[in-house]
């Protein structure tokens, strides 16, 4: 299952993920391997059950956010063969990304940082779905983005050969 370490007693290898706010998440290797970043790292340093590797995470990934990512990884490490197969897994994914916009963006960031491709797909799709068909003003409003265009600039971009883009 893991790459790089051998457990003589066959005990399950664990790794500890430590968030900036001090919370620790102990996960098995199958879960950790869902993250490309952790998988790479662990293939170099290794980890074991008696002496698990502790990996500190950047401050931007809070325990609440990491909780979501770990939930996703655990479920997907188990795969579709359990608890109702692929259909249940898809439903799990769908429900997982039903989040507030700030939480959704944070999980997106964490999925990117930890390189969990399918989760990143899910969250960015969810963000995209949220702003689909919104006007420019609505998107700004929704994310609290303040336009830094001058009035002039915006006019130029808005009028830039409107026929050129289909």
Partner 1 sequence: MGQSASSRLTDSPPAVVGGISAVTDYTADLPDDCLALVFQSLGSGDRKRCSLVCRRWLAVEGWSRLRLSLDARAALLDVFPAIFARFDAVSRLTLRCSRRTDSIGDEGLALVAAHCPNLASLKLRACGALTDAGMAAVARYCSGLRKLSVDSCAFGAKGVDAVLRGCPLLEELSIKRLRGLHDPSATADLIAGAASLRSVCLKDLYNAQCFAPLIAGCPNLKTLKLIRCSGDWDPLLKNMAARVPGVVEIHLERLQVTDSGLAALSVCVDLEVLRLVKTPECTDAGIAAVADRCALLRKVHIDGWRANRIGDEGLQALARRCADLQELVLIGVNPTSRTLELMASNCRSLEHLALCGSDTFGDSEVACIASKCAALKKLCIKGCPISDQGIEALAAGCPKLVKVKVKRCPGVTQECADRLAGSRNGKLAVKVEADEGSAAVQQAEGTVVFGEFGIAEDTGGGERPRLASVDRAGGAGTLSSKSRRTARKKRTGFFATRRNLVASALRRWSNGSSYSRHSHR
- Asked whether position 102 contacts partner 1 by CB under 8 A, the answer is yes
Burial 20-30 (b: 16+ CB within 10 A, else e): eeeeebebbbb
- Asked whether position 112 contacts partner 1 by CB under 8 A, the answer is yes
- Asked whether position 129 contacts partner 1 by CB under 8 A, the answer is yes
Among 9, 10, 95, 161, binds partner 1 (CB under 8 A): 161
Among 1, 3, 54, 60, binds partner 1 (CB under 8 A): 60
Angle at 55 between CA 52 and CA 56, to 5 degrees: 140
Residue pair 25/68 in contact by the 8 Å Cβ criterion: no
Residue pair 101/93 in contact by the 8 Å Cβ criterion: no
**What distance in Å separates the CA atoms of residue 126 and residue 117, rounded to the nearest whole number?**
14
Which of 7-15, 69-77, 81-89, 100-108 is the region at the interface with partner 1 (rule: CB under 8 A)? 100-108
Which of 11-19, 26-34, 76-84, 125-133 is the region at the interface with partner 1 (rule: CB under 8 A)? 125-133
Which uninterrupted H or E stretch holds 16?
strand 14-18
Among 4, 11, 58, 85, binds partner 1 (CB under 8 A): 58
The count of residues in the chain is: 166
Which of 7-15, 44-52, 80-88, 144-152 is the region at the interface with partner 1 (rule: CB under 8 A)? 144-152
Among 123, 149, 152, residue whose Cα is nearest residue 137: 149
* All residues at 6 or more sequence positions from 26 whose CB lies less than 8 Å from its CB, including other chains: 14, 15, 16, 17, 52
Binding mask 11-50 for partner 1 (x = CB under 8 A): ---------x---------------xx--x----------
Q: Which residues bind partner 1 (CB under 8 A)?
A: 20, 36-37, 40, 58-60, 101-102, 105, 108-109, 112-113, 115, 117, 120-121, 124-125, 127-129, 131-149, 154, 157-158, 160-161, 163-166
């Amino acid at each position: 299952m893991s790459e790089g370490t051998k457990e003589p007693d066959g005990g399950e290898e664990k790794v500890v993920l430590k968030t900036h706010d001090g919370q620790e998440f102990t996960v098995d290797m199958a879960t950790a391997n869902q993250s490309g970043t952790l998988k790479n790292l662990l293939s170099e340093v290794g980890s074991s059950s008696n002496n698990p590797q502790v990996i500190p995470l950047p401050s931007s990934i809070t325990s609440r956010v990491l909780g979501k990512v770990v939930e996703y990884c655990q479920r997907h490490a188990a795969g579709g063969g359990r608890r109702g197969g692929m259909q249940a897994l898809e439903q799990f994914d769908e429900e997982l990304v039903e989040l507030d916009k700030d939480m959704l963006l944070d999980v997106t960031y964490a999925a990117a940082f930890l390189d969990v491709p399918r989760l990143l797909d899910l969250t960015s799709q969810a963000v995209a779905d949220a702003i689909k068909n919104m006007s420019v003003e609505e998107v700004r409003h929704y994310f609290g983005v303040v336009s830094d265009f001058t009035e002039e600039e915006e006019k130029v971009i808005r009028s830039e050969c409107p026929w050129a883009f289909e």
